[in-house]
């Protein structure tokens, strides 16, 4: 990096509010409204500072419907400088500590809203999903993408009613579904018992901290989960950690759309995803993207992205 470029980056970061914003955005994706809430400053002031950080290459900005998200830059010289600067500051610093405390409160509020939605809609979850692309079409596409492969150990992240476990039951030796919502888990257990799927289980667990060691699974699915996630990239990174060499992941979610009411009425954090974004996250997690499928709906379209963990020379783990 040339000295002029580095000095420009340092000038952008070298102001108290901008430095606080930079540190916060290394913790995940945040909206302007959330950053205003954390810093206690006006929206125009925060927006001006964010623009300077984006222009300097320290932050990435992406618009989604009426919301704009900010996060630490993923690539370029600014990305490396942002990482180094954030690591240099002590979390014991009183200003930063207060910011991080308020950030945790923002995240708790998000999670409480999502939990309330799941709790109130658990009994009609399949009906809610059917409002988009028919689930039968999604399931048929998933089965085609996996080509009848024999699965040893299978993981379904955000399992909901356990339908994915039921779908792949005939191809797997063992299966486990993870979900944070106890009512969903109760429904999933009842469903699996009724279907006679005794080699599958569901467990309470956090998709950001999966209760499994590395190289535990041959197939992982993330079915209609990422649009609720605060940090979709971290979900995929954690999923990849649990995958064996040669294992495959399938990510099912909405293509980009503009249905703002899904945020208000259904607790969606993201209005779908673009291919470049998802493939970039998969690549950053050490996965090699493969075939993807599109199921066009009205008004929402489903995308199914697949990726594999490369097999090292000799097939070792």
- Average of per-residue pLDDT across 180-188: 81
Residue 130: pLDDT above 60?
no
Buried b (16+ CB within 10 A) or exposed e, 276-302: eebbebbeebebebeebbebebeebbb
pLDDT of the residue at 124? 53
**Contact between 169 and 175 (Cβ < 8 Å):** yes
Domains of the chain listed by start with CATH number: 3-89 (1.10.10.10), 127-315 (3.40.50.150)
207: left (phi over 0), alpha (psi -120 to 50) or beta: alpha
User: Per-residue pLDDT tens for 201-254?
Assistant: 898 889 999 999 999 999 999 999 999 998 999 999 999 999 999 999 999 999
For residue 84, which of 58, 51, 53, 56 has the smallest C-alpha distance?
58
Residue 316: pLDDT above 50?
no
Residue 112: pLDDT above 90?
no
pLDDT of the residue at 204? 87
Residue 317: pLDDT above 50?
no
For residue 248, which of 291, 312, 211 has the smallest C-alpha distance?
291
- Average of per-residue pLDDT across 263-290: 92
Supply the pTM of this predicted model: 0.69
- Average of per-residue pLDDT across 54-77: 82
User: pLDDT confidence of 315, banded at 50, 70, 90?
Assistant: very low
Q: Which of 34-43, 76-85, 149-158 has the lowest mean pLDDT?
A: 76-85
pLDDT of the residue at 267? 80
Residue 147: pLDDT above 90?
no
User: Per-residue pLDDT tens for 16-44?
Assistant: 999 999 999 988 778 899 999 999 999 99
User: pLDDT confidence of 66, banded at 50, 70, 90?
Assistant: confident
pLDDT of the residue at 89? 84
């Amino acid at each position: 990096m040339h000295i002029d470029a580095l000095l420009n980056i340092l000038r952008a970061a070298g102001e108290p509010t901008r430095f606080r914003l930079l540190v916060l955005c290394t913790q995940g994706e945040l909206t302007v409204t959330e950053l205003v809430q954390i810093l206690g400053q006006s929206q125009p002031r925060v927006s001006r500072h964010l623009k300077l950080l984006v222009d300097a290459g320290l932050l990435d900005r992406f618009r989604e419907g009426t919301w704009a998200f900010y996060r630490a830059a993923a690539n370029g010289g600014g990305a490396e400088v942002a990482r180094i600067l954030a690591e240099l500051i002590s979390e014991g610093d009183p200003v930063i500590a207060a910011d991080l405390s308020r950030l945790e409160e923002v995240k708790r509020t998000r999670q409480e809203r999502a939990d309330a939605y799941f709790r109130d809609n658990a009994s009609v979850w399949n009906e809610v999903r059917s409002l988009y692309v028919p689930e039968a079409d999604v399931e048929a596409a998933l089965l085609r993408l996996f080509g009848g492969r024999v699965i040893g150990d299978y993981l379904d992240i955000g399992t909901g009613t356990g339908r994915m476990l039921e779908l792949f039951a005939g191809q797997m030796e063992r299966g486990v579904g993870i979900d944070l919502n106890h009512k969903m888990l109760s429904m999933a257990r009842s469903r699996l018992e009724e279907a006679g799927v005794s080699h599958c289980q569901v467990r309470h667990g956090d998709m950001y901290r999966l209760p499994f060691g590395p190289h535990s699974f041959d197939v992982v699915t993330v079915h209609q989960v990422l649009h609720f996630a605060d940090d979709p990239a971290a979900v995929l990174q954690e999923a990849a950690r649990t995958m064996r060499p040669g294992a495959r992941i399938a990510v099912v979610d909405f293509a980009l759309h503009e249905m703002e009411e899904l945020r208000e009425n259904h607790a969606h954090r993201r209005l779908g995803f673009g291919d470049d974004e998802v493939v970039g996250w998969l690549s950053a997690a050490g996965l090699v993207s493969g075939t993807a499928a599109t199921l066009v709906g009205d008004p929402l379209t489903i995308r199914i992205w697949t990726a594999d963990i490369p097999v090292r020379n000799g097939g070792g783990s």
